[in-house]
Structure 1
Amino acid sequence: MKKNVKLALFEYGMITFAAVLLVIGVYFFKFPNNFSFGGVTGMAIVLSAVTPFSAGTINFVINMALLVVGFLCFGKEFGAKTVYVSVLMSLGLSGLEKYFPMPHPMTNEPVLELIFAIVLPALSSAILFNIGASGGGTDIIAMVLKKHSTVNIGTALFLVDLMITVAACFIFDAATGLFSFCGLMAKSLVIDTAIENINLCKYFTIVCDDPEPICDFIHEKLTRSATIFEAEGTYTHHKKYVILTVMKRGQAVQLRNYIRWNEPGAFMMITNSSEIIGKGFRGLN
Structure 2
Amino acid sequence: MLKRIRRTRSAGARMRTADEEELSRVHVDPDSAPPAYEGSAVIQAADLQTPEEARESERAISRRDAPGTLRLVVALNVGVILCALAYVLFQGPSSLAIGGASGLSIVLSSAVPGLPNDVALWIVNAVLVVVGLVFVERRAVVWSVVASVALSAYVSLIQWLIPVTASLTGDLWLDLCCTVLLVALGNAIAYNAGASTGGMEIVVMALARHTSLPVGHAVTVANGGIVCAGVVLYGPRVGLYCVLGLLVQTVVVNGVLNDLKQHKVCTVICRWPARVEEFLVRELSRTATITRGYGAYSGREVSVIMTVLTRAEATRLEKYLREIDPDAFVTYVNTSQITGHGFRWV
TM-score (norm 1): 0.91
In 1, are the aligned partners of 2:289 and 2:306 still within 8 Å (CA)? yes
Aligned-pair distance for 1:38? Answer: 1.1
Task: Read off the aligned partner of 1:154 and give its amino acid letter.
Answer: G
2:340 match: secondary structure: strand
Aligned partner of 1:15 in structure 2 is: 76
- Partner in structure 1 of residue 88 of structure 2: 27
Matched, 1:47 2:108: yes
* Cα 1:78–1:118 shift into 2, 3 Å: same
What's the secondary structure of 2:153's corresponding residue?
helix
2: CA distance, partners of 1:269 / 1:99: 51
Note if 1:120 corresponds to 2:170: no
The equivalent residue for 1:142 is 204
Which residue does 2:148 correspond to in 1? 86
- Give the letter aligned to residue 142 of structure 1: V
Q: Structure 1 pair 147/156, CA: closer, same or farther in 2 (3 Å)? A: closer
Q: CA deviation at 1:226?
A: 1.5
Q: Determine which of 103, 107, 112 is the counterpart of 2:169.
A: 107
- Change in Cα spacing, 1:75 to 1:161, as seen in structure 2 (3 Å) is closer
CA distance in 2, matches of 1:51, 1:233: 74
> What is the distance in 2 between the residues matched to 1:70 and 1:161?
17
Range with greater deviation from structure 2 (99-108 or 84-93): 99-108
CA shift, 1:188, in A, is 0.6
Residues 180-206 of structure 1: CA distance to partner in whole angstroms, max 9, x if unpaired? 122012011000001000001111011
Normalized against structure 2, the TM-score is what?
Answer: 0.76
Q: Is the 8 A contact 1:126 1:195 kept in 2?
A: yes
Structure 1 runs (4+) deviating above 6 angstroms are 3-6
Structure 2 residue aligned with 1:235, among 276, 288, 297?
297
1:144-185 Cα distance to aligned partner (Å, 9 max, x none): 122211113322331332332233233224432232122012
Counterpart check, 1:270 vs 2:317: no
Q: Per-residue deviation at 1:209?
A: 4.2
User: Greater relative contact order (Cα 8 A, min sep 6): structure 1 or 2?
Assistant: 2
Q: Give the corresponding residue for 2:19.
A: none
Partner-residue secondary structure (3-state), 1:240: strand
In structure 1, the residue matched to 2:35 is: none
- Cα distance per residue 1:196-221 (max 9 Å; x no partner): 00001111011234311111222233
For residue 169 of structure 1, what is the amino acid of its counterpart? Answer: V
Q: Please tell me the residue identity of whatever aligns with 1:10.
A: R
Mapped to 2, the partners of 1:78 and 1:200 lie a distance apart of: 26
**How far apart are residue 274 of structure 1 and its match?**
0.8
Pairwise CA distance, 1:135: 2.0
Q: Which residue of 2 aligns with 1:163?
A: 225
With 240-249 and 55-64 compared, the bigger mean Cα shift is at: 55-64
Of the three residues 223, 229, 234, the one matched with 1:172 is 234
Range with bigger deviation, 47-56 or 239-248: 47-56
- From the superposition, tell whether residues 78 and 247 of structure 1 become closer, same or farther in structure 2 (CA, over 3 Å): closer
Query: Counterparts of 1:109 and 1:70 in 2: how far apart (Å)?
Result: 37
Rate the CA distance shift 1:205–1:183 in 2: closer, same or farther, 3 A.
same
Q: Does 1:212 align with 2:301?
A: no
1:172 and 1:221 mapped to 2: Cα distance?
58
Which amino acid in 2 is paired with 1:143? M
1:99 deviates by 4.6
Residue 131 of structure 1 corresponds to 193
Letter of the 2:83 counterpart: L
The answer to which of 100-109 and 194-203 deviates more is 100-109
**Aligned partner letter, 1:12:** V
Task: Identify the structure with the greater strand proportion.
Answer: 1
Call closer, same or farther: CA 1:25–1:157 in 2, change over 3 Å. Answer: same
Alignment of 1:61 onto 2:105? no
Q: Give unpaired runs (5+ residues) of structure 1.
A: none
